[in-house]
Structure 1
Amino acid sequence: MNSLTGELPETISSCSLLEIVDLFSNSIESEIPPSIGQCSFLQQIILGTNNIRGNIPPDIGLLSNLSALFIPHNQLTGTIPQLLGSNKPLIWVNLQNNSLSGEIPPSLFNSTTTSYIDLSSNGLSGSIPPFSQALSSLRYLSLTENLLSGKIPITLGNIPSLSTLMLSGNKLDGTIPKSLSNLSKLQILDLSHNNLSGIVPPGLYTISSLTYLNFGANRLVGILPTNIGYTLPGLTSIIFEGSLSDLTYLDLGGNKLEAGDWSFMSSLTNCTQLTNLWLDRNKLQGIIPSSITNLSEGLKFGACNVAIKVFRLDQNGAPKNFFAECEALKNIRHRNLIRVINLCSTFDPSGNEYKALILEYRINGNLESWIHPKVLGRNPTKHLSLGLRIRIAVDIAVALDYLHNRCSPPMVHCDLKPSNVLLDDEMVACLSDFGLTKFLHNNIISLNNSSSTAGLRGSIGYIAPEYGLGCKVSTEGDVYSYGIIVLEMITGKCPTDEMFKDGMNLRSLVESAFPHKINDILEPTITEHHDGEDSNHVVPEILTCAIQLAKLGLMCTETSPKDRPTINDVYYQIISIKEKYHALINH
């Protein structure tokens, strides 16, 4: 990771004993010289995150010692070499986020040594080639965000080592192969955003190693099985074993699934780590029975889009957080605050407590997944322009102003961070997760809902420094967290990033570049995506507004609470930045 520029020389073939080419994360603007195929000892080609353009030389597929081909996040075009995969020692192939087209060469799925293949976010078309039984070492396969069509190969179920399978965002049709249930080591399965139909093979719901399961946005039908969360007993067992105890994410939304008698909900109580459950846009109709919820009036599901937040009651303070969140949500109603539709508080068949909130569904997920899409395995087709970032900052400020000044009693959120900022279909932001919220009465913390001191209350990286010293919860703490989010939105850096050590943090990074070197630390897509305007015209205006945002973020993250602006002052400043942005863009 340096700042090297220039082109890859055609004379690279003269390096006859060359084994590794590693120019990862530089500013190389070049095509890959065809002569690289003459470097017969070459083992690793690592050119990720540059400006590499043109085709991948076909002769790369003939390099008999090649073990790693790593060229993601570039501008490659053309097709994947037809003989890639015939290289006997090939282990690692990552070509994601380019503009490659054509079909996937069958040879790539015939290698006996390959363990990692990522071809996501390209323009690959045609069907997925069959998988050889010799492909026994493959652990990771991602083909998301392409133009692939046809059926999912049945032979995928013959790869016992596969732990990650991501095929989302294509045009795949037909049914989900039953053979996928044989993948006993599968941890991540994402088949969302395709045209898959038929029923989900019941065995997929019982792979005990799964942590992430996404079938959303297809045309799947059938009644949700009652054994979600259970593995059927073996011949020598008389009790349920191997529950999906590690499952954290389950998305079945956007299909034609039916709820039956809702008994699948009781089964889900066995998924003790489940924090994200999406059932929206299905045919889930009827009333949740009294065995599932203690509410006197049943919750009806149909056209209503909802998300279900399940509380992990084995975690310290979780029951208290459930009741705190219910109390907070009961007292608020605002466009920029998540709306609770209903709640569920009951016991599972084993007598364990089960608590969940039925919340309004926000289709664009949370802000964290937009700021850090690659870290979270997300490949968005749309990025956040500076205009959208400013709008989101306005929405968060409006929500905090309501909590601090306009609801009764006033509240302090105490856990403001990007993952708790949800976005709807129009990218309107709202705050969620009120489990740590504190009520204020005449500017005094309510003793019914908190201790006299805050402690480390919130999430690491967003907690106001005075909380670490035992100071009381205050609105200034929320302002600090807001400032961190603003700095995170303009830099694309998480406050807990590994780069922050030895006294360096997100605030000091921005402060060191403010104002004249602000462009050095801006998240790159801010200047690449700007609401359809011409880039040469917009960039100076973007820098002007980015400087103003950085200034606001620095003011909000002052070490001393008394030096920070109130949320009312923040609101007027962010509105002013928004107006200036639109005036500059439309000038």
Structure 2
Amino acid sequence: MARVLAFFCFFSLSCICSHARLPPSPRSSNGTADELALLSFKSMLSSRLLDSWNTSSHYCSWPGVACGRRHPDRVISLRMGSFNLTGHISPFLGNLSFLRELDLRDNQLIGQVPPELGRLGRLQLLNFSANFLQGEIPTEIGALKNLYILNLQENGFSGGIPHSLADLPWLEFLFLSNNRLFGEIPSSLGNLSLMHLDLMGNNLSGPIPPSLGMMSSLSWLSLGYNNLSGPIPVSIWNISSLMGLSVEHNMLGGTLPSEAFSSLSYLEFILMDNNLFHGRLPASVANVTNVKRLQFGPNFFSGTVPADLGRLGYLLSLELSSTSLEAKEPNDWEFITALTNCSQLQNLELGSSKFGGVLPSSVSNLSTSLKRLDLQSNTISGNIPKDIGNLANLEYLVLDSNSFRGTLPSTFGRLNKLQLFSVENNKISGSIPLTFGNLTELISLELQANAFSGNIPSTVGNLTKLLTLNLASNKFSGQIPIAVFNISTLSLILDLSYNNFEGSIPQEIGHLKNLVEFHAESNMLSGEIPVGLGECQLLQNIYIQNNFLNGTIPSLLSQLKGLQNLDFSNNNLSGLIPSFLGNLSTLYQLNLSFNSFAGQVPTFGVFANSSAISIENNGKLCGGIPTLHLPPCSLDIPKKRHRFLIIPISLPLVTTIVVLALLCKLCIVHKKSKQKIPSTTSRQGLPMISYLQLAKATDGFSSTNLIGSGSFGSVYKGVIDDQAEESTNLVAVKVLKVHTPGALKSFIAECEALRNVRHRNLVKIITACSSNDNKGNDFKAIVFDFMPNGSLDVWLHPYTNEQTECMYLDLLQRVTILLDVAYALDYLHCQGPAPVVHCDLKPSNVLLDADMVAHVGDFGLARILVDESSFCQHSTSSMGLRGTIGYAAPEYGAGNMVSTHGDIYSFGILVLETITAKRPTDSRFGQGLGLCEYVELALHNNSVMGVVDSRLPLDLKSDHQTIDYHSNKRNVDCLVSVLRLGISCSQESPSSRMPTRGIIKELKAVKESLSTQ
């Protein structure tokens, strides 16, 4: 560490000295050579910061250039990190023979590293990190005998690690992480005197060379996220200077020596998770007195946890989940009592292991700094310790899938920072304590599959940040309190199923505008289906079967345009089956069986697929598609006979009514024309268009031309005549639902957001119309280019089996579409006239043109940010709209401001959905598991192919003879890279999400890898 500090002191001093030099003397011939090298470097790049690189000023004064004191005409450093450089690295940089520092980090450089750089014999620092460089690392770098720091991380370098790097006698910092390097780690690296070796995030394989243990000054060894195998060499345990050891996510195995950690007293991080280690956890780990994070699971460690861990006074996190570690007797739990000495402990994870017996009450005496306690999926029994409320800063408490009994302690009410509490699948009884109303930070409350009873306390209504409430499979009784439906944040799931609730479902359910999934099946509910259910505009799944509901299906349910599953079976419902259910294009499962419905069954939409509907045991249904085998409906012959008798009598009356109606209409139109002259507006520079033209283009806004419908508008396909070109143009006409609350604001937002933006991957607005229709009512519409291949959503989730067969995207197409969307986001956030946040990025808003190029559309929730002062920095807006549940960032649910971070989260979910073909609110994930967790679990368990779209593996396992093992593995690696990108973008913390520049870099690398196969 002293050497690191000494280097950075020297580095800072050299920076100061190099800028405090005397004015340069007249240019020497060598200086002219340096100037020519710099101009050659500039000629291959594009950046606004290089505009001042010209002969009007001395090159030593150019931005990023520094010259020496002893040789004032010789360039000694190029410090051009984050200069927004685009292009290739010039080989003429190799002529800067006095160069000591070459820092081009965090730019957009492409191509390969020129081997001519091997001529820079004085070079001490070479930093090309965070670019788009590719190809092999030049072996010529081994000629840079004075090199002290080599940083090539976060690029696309491939091939092996050059053995020539072992010829750099002064090299102390080697960073090659997050590339695509493969092969074995050269054992010759052990000849170096490295302080920091970072090879994480590559495709390296084979064993860890024992020679690495010969680097006696090594402080950090990062080898995680590779394919390394075999044991950790004994020599590694002898590096007494080691401060960080990272070997997670490999295939390392074997047992750890009992004295493995005895010499590593300076270690602060030990990351060994997701490997194949087995045997006992060495007690010598307690000797690592400075350690802050211990991460040992998942692995196959067995036996008990050493109680000596209580000596680790600086410990912040202990992660032992998914191991074979166990506790059976009280003595086996002594490590919990010992951990009470770790006064800074914040995270304790013991889930999915073999811990059993009774949880000791000493868990309540753990550090008050504890934020996360995970004991899920064990066999722990007994009561939850009554003083659990002592852990005042606890945010995450997961106790599910154990055998806890008794009641919930009243001290729970003191955990007022708790955000997630899950105790599902235990044997807990009694009622929910009234003090639960104090847990106002709760986001998820999961009590399902226990023996809770009594009424739901009204204090649950105080949980105003709750996104998920699951009380299923208990013994709750009484009426469902209205307070539950006043929790307006409830959006992911409300599950009250398999209880003893009675009475009606309150109309106040309509307050849950953003609810995605509602379960109330298998109770004793009565009364009619609440009309308010139709106001839950984002509902996708409704399950109210096995109750005593009566009456008809309310027409207001026709507003649920995103409905996917609807189950009203086993009730007492009656009347006609509403035809509007067939108009719900996303509905793919409908169960109305065991009711008293009568009349004709529709034949379109979901009703056209007999496997998607269940209508048996209804008695008097008729018609429908032939495969339902229902009797034909009666044609009512007597009325048909008298039709001609009625016509002569009614015709005069009808004629009179029509004439009167026309007269009234003329009067109304004449009166309105005096009061208000209709106006038609369009964007500046675009042709004007009227309501009549749009009506003609869409055949009177015919339902046959309806493409889709959303909360604020409907979209129609239209054909507009171009008089100047004597041709016709296909367009999409978005007609505003002017009477819907918020629709006008959406129209204004979309027009404002699209007014000045121009990008290949954004929908092109042709014109806008704000006028009156033929009845004098307000009419507003936006006209866009028509996208013949529809939305990405339709390709990922085809409605029929026929569509599934023909609407298929291979992996390269999916990555290309994601890259198109990333380019669009980068333009909106960073490159456009003003930063724009889309706020509603999802597959249905990604449209595909005839060439399958993606275009981001629907800017009805977009926000133009006020902060334009910084280039491509994450900005915020005080107008907080959340967008669509499942895609909207979690901070929006807490009322946070709109920011570009939110779009990145939505993009991350979009990435995961594009690869898995599973929606973020898919009920198949299981309780408490979302799309992100679903994918993360697969990545951790090396079971990626089990979560990707089932059609993709067929593509990966091509029958073509040219596809060999290595090519198939490369495809799988690309899949993993894209999924990790999705996880990175959808992190809970906004600041942890990858920026657009990094997203583009990652996707371009994956696309290139797929394209070159």
1:116 aligns with 2:183: no
Question: How do 1:74-93 residues align onto structure 2 when only pairs under 5 Å count?
Answer: 74-93=155-174
Change (3 A) 1:330 1:141: closer
Q: 2:118 aligns to what SS in structure 1?
A: helix
1:399 aligns with 2:482: no
CA distance in 2, matches of 1:209, 1:514: 46
Shift of 1:287: 1.5
Q: 1:83 aligns to what SS in structure 2?
A: helix
Deviations 1:452-488 (A, max 9, x none): xxxxxxxxxxxxxxxxxxxxxxxxxxxxxxxxxxxxx
Bigger fraction of residues in helix: 2
**Unaligned ranges ≥5, structure 2:** 1-81, 366-373, 398-408, 427-442, 447-462, 471-481, 491-515, 517-826, 867-874, 882-891, 897-901, 918-1013
CA distance in 2, matches of 1:6, 1:38: 22
1:288 aligns with 2:603: no
Asked whether the equivalents of residues 247 and 273 of structure 1 are also in contact (C-alpha less than 8 Å), the reply is: yes
Change (3 A) 1:291 1:16: closer
Asked whether the equivalents of residues 273 and 312 of structure 1 are also in contact (C-alpha less than 8 Å), the reply is: no
Q: Give the aligned partner of residue 140 of structure 1.
A: 220
1:554 aligns with 2:622: no
1:151 aligns with 2:231: yes
Equivalent of 2:305 in 203, 212, 224: 224
Q: Give the aligned partner of residue 250 of structure 1.
A: 318
CA distance in 2, matches of 1:549, 1:154: 58
Shift of 1:206: 3.6
Paired AA for residue 353 in structure 2: N
CA distance in 2, matches of 1:212, 1:144: 15
CA distance in 2, matches of 1:226, 1:361: 33
Change (3 A) 1:544 1:36: farther
Equivalent of 1:259 in 306, 321, 327: 327
1:169 aligns with 2:252: no
CA distance in 1, matches of 2:858, 2:177: 30
1:33 aligns with 2:114: yes
Q: 2:466 aligns to what SS in structure 1?
A: helix
Q: Give the aligned partner of residue 17 of structure 1.
A: 98
Q: Report the structure number with the largest CA radius of gyration.
A: 2
**Unaligned ranges ≥5, structure 1:** 231-243, 343-358, 363-395, 414-427, 429-509, 559-565
Equivalent of 2:208 in 117, 122, 128: 128
1:46 aligns with 2:113: no
Shift of 1:138: 1.0
Q: Give the aligned partner of residue 187 of structure 2.
A: 106
Deviations 1:346-368 (A, max 9, x none): xxxxxxxxxxxxx9999xxxxxx
Change (3 A) 1:539 1:189: farther
Q: 1:37 aligns to what SS in structure 2?
A: helix
Asked whether the equivalents of residues 204 and 227 of structure 2 are also in contact (C-alpha less than 8 Å), the reply is: yes
Shift of 1:59: 1.9
Shift of 1:300: 9.4
Q: Give the aligned partner of residue 339 of structure 1.
A: 422
Change (3 A) 1:180 1:92: same
Q: 1:59 aligns to what SS in structure 2?
A: helix
Shift of 1:264: 1.3
CA distance in 1, matches of 2:380, 2:828: 42
Change (3 A) 1:542 1:195: farther
Paired AA for residue 466 in structure 2: A
Shift of 1:211: 0.3
Shift of 1:165: 0.5
Shift of 1:288: 2.4
Question: How do 1:526-537 residues align onto structure 2 when only pairs under 5 Å count?
Answer: none
Shift of 1:512: 9.3
1:327 aligns with 2:394: no
Paired AA for residue 247 in structure 1: L
Q: 1:197 aligns to what SS in structure 2?
A: strand
Shift of 1:72: 1.2
CA distance in 2, matches of 1:301, 1:246: 25
CA distance in 1, matches of 2:323, 2:137: 39
Deviations 1:62-88 (A, max 9, x none): 321111111111111111111323311
Asked whether the equivalents of residues 136 and 161 of structure 1 are also in contact (C-alpha less than 8 Å), the reply is: yes
Q: 1:72 aligns to what SS in structure 2?
A: coil
CA distance in 2, matches of 1:29, 1:331: 47
Question: How do 1:467-546 residues align onto structure 2 when only pairs under 5 Å count?
Answer: 517-518=834-835, 540-541=855-856, 544=859
Q: Give the aligned partner of residue 458 of structure 1.
A: none
CA distance in 1, matches of 2:411, 2:833: 43
Change (3 A) 1:128 1:246: same
Shift of 1:412: 11
Shift of 1:125: 0.8
Shift of 1:105: 1.2
1:277 aligns with 2:348: yes
Change (3 A) 1:311 1:116: farther
CA distance in 2, matches of 1:247, 1:301: 22
Q: 1:338 aligns to what SS in structure 2?
A: strand
Bigger fraction of residues in strand: 2
Paired AA for residue 143 in structure 2: L
Change (3 A) 1:542 1:81: farther
Q: Give the aligned partner of residue 339 of structure 2.
A: 268
Change (3 A) 1:26 1:228: same
Change (3 A) 1:215 1:18: same
Shift of 1:195: 0.7
CA distance in 2, matches of 1:69, 1:216: 32
1:204 aligns with 2:285: yes
Change (3 A) 1:302 1:132: closer
Identity of aligned residues (%): 30
CA distance in 2, matches of 1:516, 1:324: 56
CA distance in 2, matches of 1:111, 1:361: 54
Equivalent of 1:186 in 264, 267, 289: 267
CA distance in 1, matches of 2:144, 2:389: 51
CA distance in 2, matches of 1:111, 1:224: 37
Asked whether the equivalents of residues 159 and 181 of structure 2 are also in contact (C-alpha less than 8 Å), the reply is: yes
CA distance in 1, matches of 2:155, 2:223: 17
Change (3 A) 1:265 1:326: same
Q: 1:208 aligns to what SS in structure 2?
A: coil
TM-score (norm 1): 0.56
Paired AA for residue 313 in structure 2: S
Q: 2:249 aligns to what SS in structure 1?
A: coil
TM-score (norm 2): 0.34
Asked whether the equivalents of residues 219 and 256 of structure 1 are also in contact (C-alpha less than 8 Å), the reply is: yes
Q: 2:89 aligns to what SS in structure 1?
A: coil
CA distance in 2, matches of 1:164, 1:7: 35
Q: 2:179 aligns to what SS in structure 1?
A: coil
Shift of 1:93: 0.9
Shift of 1:513: 6.8
Q: CA RMSD in A?
A: 5.3
Asked whether the equivalents of residues 87 and 110 of structure 2 are also in contact (C-alpha less than 8 Å), the reply is: yes
Q: 2:277 aligns to what SS in structure 1?
A: strand
Asked whether the equivalents of residues 89 and 113 of structure 2 are also in contact (C-alpha less than 8 Å), the reply is: yes
Q: Give the aligned partner of residue 505 of structure 1.
A: none
